[in-house]
Amino acid sequence: MRFSAVASALGLATVASAQVTVKVGATSSDAGGIFQFIPNSINATNGTVVTFEFTGVPGNHSVTQSTFADPCDPIAGGFDSGWVLIPSQPSETPTWNLTITDTSKPLWFFCKQLLPGPHCSAGMVGAINAPTSGNTFESYQNNAKNFKGNSGQGEGALVGIGASASAGPGPITGVVQAFTASPVASSAASGASGASGASGSGTASSSAAGSSGTAAGNGAIGVTANAFVGLISAVLGFALA
Ligand SMILES: [Cu+2]
């Protein structure tokens, strides 16, 4: 009796602090390749903490909320981890905790990185509480793979629709860098004057929170983001292909 009572208490505790881990990005030797969330479709109850582990090394990925109908463009008011750039194996893998706040609708998300090609179109999308029929995860991913052109960029945001975070990805230390829209714009501006000798440290943000990010036109963000990721890739000299 005592044992079952303890087990019951532990069970309740587990429910109260449910946690699920999703890997963001993989390596070329992993089944399915670099451009994926693992697992890419999960179920989670309200209060569940989804811990995104940025495991793609080398890699530069994001967790950005979208919609079923438009899988590779950010939804207005959606969550966005911002980019987490990991050029080589860090001493500690950055994570991002997203708490589920509304399970009444499915949550859809994608990676907004555009190099070497849009990761979203490569199938790097994920879902939380996707229906098992109709708008399924498989349909969502097929929509993403059929997406033409560059995926949308958006800005880092902690609070999304149906889920929110209390902090940006971390730790951002050592070789790891995190970027949101604001440093993207400034780094792209400096990079435009010459791609050589760019100082990466000057463009790094200590947090991807983006809560204080300034508003800008969508078109402007798309352009600067493209320039930015190109600059970063050139500076670091690694390809994500
Ligand atoms: Cu990615």
With cut-offs at 50, 70 and 90, classify the pLDDT of residue 204: very low
Measured CA to CA, the distance from residue 81 to residue 207 in angstroms comes to 10
Question: What are the distances in angstroms from CA 37 to CA 6, 22, 25, 110, 196?
Answer: 36, 6, 6, 9, 33
- Greater model confidence, 212 or 96: 96
Phi, psi angle pair for 145, to nearest 5°: -65, -25
Q: 4 CA to middle of ligand 1, Å?
A: 45
Beta-bridge mates of residue 66: 108
Q: 191 CA to middle of ligand 1, Å?
A: 22
Residue 215: predicted pLDDT: 30
Residues 73-93: b if buried by 16+ CB within 10 A, e if exposed: bbbeebbbbbbbbbbeebeeb
Measured CA to CA, the distance from residue 204 to residue 72 in angstroms comes to 25
Residue 154: predicted pLDDT: 74
User: Of the spans 32-41, 147-156, 207-216, which averages the highest pLDDT?
Assistant: 32-41
Q: 111 CA to middle of ligand 1, Å?
A: 5
Residue 148: predicted pLDDT: 92
Q: 194 CA to middle of ligand 1, Å?
A: 26
Q: Tokens for 135?
A: 């708008």
Give per-residue pLDDT as tens, 214-236.
333 233 333 334 334 443 443 33
On the question of pLDDT at 206 being above 80, the answer is: no
- Greater model confidence, 225 or 80: 80
Q: 33 CA to middle of ligand 1, Å?
A: 11
Report, as an integer, the average pLDDT of 84-109: 97
Report, as an integer, the average pLDDT of 24-38: 96
On the question of pLDDT at 200 being above 70, the answer is: no
Beta-bridge mates of residue 178: 84, 205
Length of the chain: 241
Q: 37 CA to middle of ligand 1, Å?
A: 9
On the question of pLDDT at 63 being above 60, the answer is: yes
The CATH number of domain 18-236 is 3.30.930.20 = no
Residue 227: predicted pLDDT: 38
Cis previous bond, 87, omega within 30: no
Residue 122: predicted pLDDT: 97
8 A C-beta contact, residue 215 and residue 157: no
Q: 23 CA to middle of ligand 1, Å?
A: 11
- Greater model confidence, 39 or 187: 39
Beta-bridge mates of residue 19: 49
Q: 120 CA to middle of ligand 1, Å?
A: 7
Report, as an integer, the average pLDDT of 113-136: 96
Report, as an integer, the average pLDDT of 176-191: 54
Helix H or strand E segment including 180: none
Helix H or strand E segment including 8: helix 2-16
Q: 12 CA to middle of ligand 1, Å?
A: 36
Q: 197 CA to middle of ligand 1, Å?
A: 26
With cut-offs at 50, 70 and 90, classify the pLDDT of residue 10: low
